[in-house]
Amino acid sequence: MAGVNGWLIAVAAAGLAAQQTYRDRVDVPRVLVDVRVVDNAGKPVAGLTPADFSVRIDGKTAAVDTMEWAAAEDAASLTSAPSRPDVVPPHGRWIVFLYQKKPDLSEVAGLMRIRRDLAAFAGVITSEDRSAVVSFDTQAHLWLDFTNDVPEMRRVLEHDIVVGSPPRLDPGPAPSLTGRLAAFSSSNTIEQTLRLLGETLEPLPGAKSIIVLGYGMGTWIPKFQSVDMDAGYPEAIMRLQKARVSVFCVDITTADYHARQEGLQSIASDTGGFYLQSHIFTTAAFDRLAGVLAGHYVLLVEPPDQEKGARRLQVALTHRRATVIARRWYVAE
């Protein structure tokens, strides 16, 4: 039960009606945290227990109340410890591909470089998954509504989105992005598009993923040698976190470093995703992405206190070495 219930009054036993005992009971809202754990080969580590996780909120130890493992494939193919009875059955994923286009199409070379690996990555989609494809130039365009049609997805990612034009799509059965098309067409920044995706994905069950194929976010300010994020960025992050959306950014720029990659890195770390470059080892980038999306833990965490507002979140392992991927803050309402 979420929230503070306040004072609960218990009436004493018969014969002591005049006497009342007061108990101060506080129910602390739990925090739902999606955590991905991968080994050095990029494969997810299954079979961990709550005792394997250390969670801190604003530097204070927080207890893991319950934990579940959500997998998209047979856990036997993962790096695993002994199986556990609290592991939940595999279930489908919600994945949105968001391709960030430049109006002058100067980033097309980057997409051409990765398109075969990207199309091959579509092969990890299972019959239970649902994926959609969106692009953004000066506004958002929907190329493919939620589907598990892998051949169609491969065609859109490898061919249509590179050389074609966005199709006219009729609204499909729920859940559907087509019904949100009018709202998407009015968004004029990628931050607004991400916010709208967060709003659309929020009612869907479980954790969701957005894979951004992009070249940068924010505006480079030479005077301060830093990237200034759009005014709509905080609201986009709030919506994505509320919807349990992790953003994974694949940088399609051909450069070891460019200033606007910091914007992509920020939204990835703020939502529990990660940032990858693609200009050197493209296949390795998508292999790692496929591994991370294969399974994750869902932790229900009890905060150490009732403080409200933005709170720092740190998740680590206690007894083994592996890479832990989780959002780094949340808002306690």
The pLDDT score that the predictor gives to residue 23 is 44
| Average pLDDT over every residue of 143-169 | 87
The pLDDT tens digits for 245-299 are: 999 999 988 888 888 899 999 999 999 999 998 887 778 888 888 889 999 999 9
Q: Report the distance separating Cα 109 and Cα 157, nearest Å.
A: 14
Confidence band of 323 (pLDDT split at 50, 70, 90): very high
CB contact at 8 A, 42 and 78: no
Strand partners, 140: 136
Cβ-Cβ contacts under 8 Å for 15 (sequence gap 6 or more): none
72/296 Cα distance (integer angstroms): 9
Tokens of 37: 């754990």
**Dist. CA 298–CA 66, nearest whole Å:** 8
Residue type, 186: S
5 domain residue, yes or no: no
The mean predicted confidence, pLDDT, of the chain is 82
Backbone angles phi, psi at 15, to 5 degrees: 95, -15
The answer, yes or no, to whether residue 325 has pLDDT greater than 50, is yes
What pLDDT does 17 receive?
38
How many percent of the chain have pLDDT more than 70?
Answer: 84
Range scoring the smallest mean pLDDT among 13-27, 80-94, 176-190: 13-27
- The SS3 assignment for 50 reads helix
Q: What is the pLDDT of residues 205-246, one digit of tens each?
A: 888 999 999 888 988 888 877 888 888 999 999 999 999 999
pLDDT digits (tens, 9 = 90+) for 71-126: 875 433 334 333 333 333 345 789 999 999 887 766 677 777 787 787 778 777 87
Give dist(CA 275, CA 86) in Å, integer.
31
Amino acid letter, 256: D
Task: Indicate if the pLDDT at residue 318 is higher than 90.
Answer: yes
Number of separate domains in the chain: 1
318 within domain boundaries: yes
Q: How large a percentage of the chain has pLDDT more than 90?
A: 44
Q: 315: which 2 tokens?
A: 């998740």
Q: Which two tokens mark 329?
A: 């803050």
Mean pLDDT, to the nearest integer, of 127-137? 89
pLDDT at 31: 94
| d(C-alpha 105, C-alpha 215), whole Å | 11
Confidence band, pLDDT 50/70/90 cuts, at residue 4 = very low
Residue 324: inside a domain: yes
What CATH number has the domain bearing residue 191? Answer: 3.40.50.410
- Predicted confidence at residue 25, as pLDDT, reads 47
pLDDT of residue 26: 54
Q: Tell me, what's the pLDDT at 35?
A: 96
DSSP H helical ranges for 31-167: 108-121, 150-155, 161-163
C-alpha 86/C-alpha 47 separation (Å) is 10
Token pair of 88 as six digits: 């939940």
Confidence of residue 5 (pLDDT cuts 50, 70, 90): very low
Distance CA 295, CA 46 (A): 8
Contact status, residue 50 vs residue 68, Cβ threshold 8 Å? no
Q: Would you give the DSSP letter of residue 156?
A: I
Query: Of 168, 167, 144, which Cα lies nearest the Cα of 157?
Result: 144
Whole-number Å distance between alpha carbons of 44 and 25: 40
Parent domain of 316: 29-333
Whether the CA torsion 239, 258, 221, 215 is positive or negative: it is negative
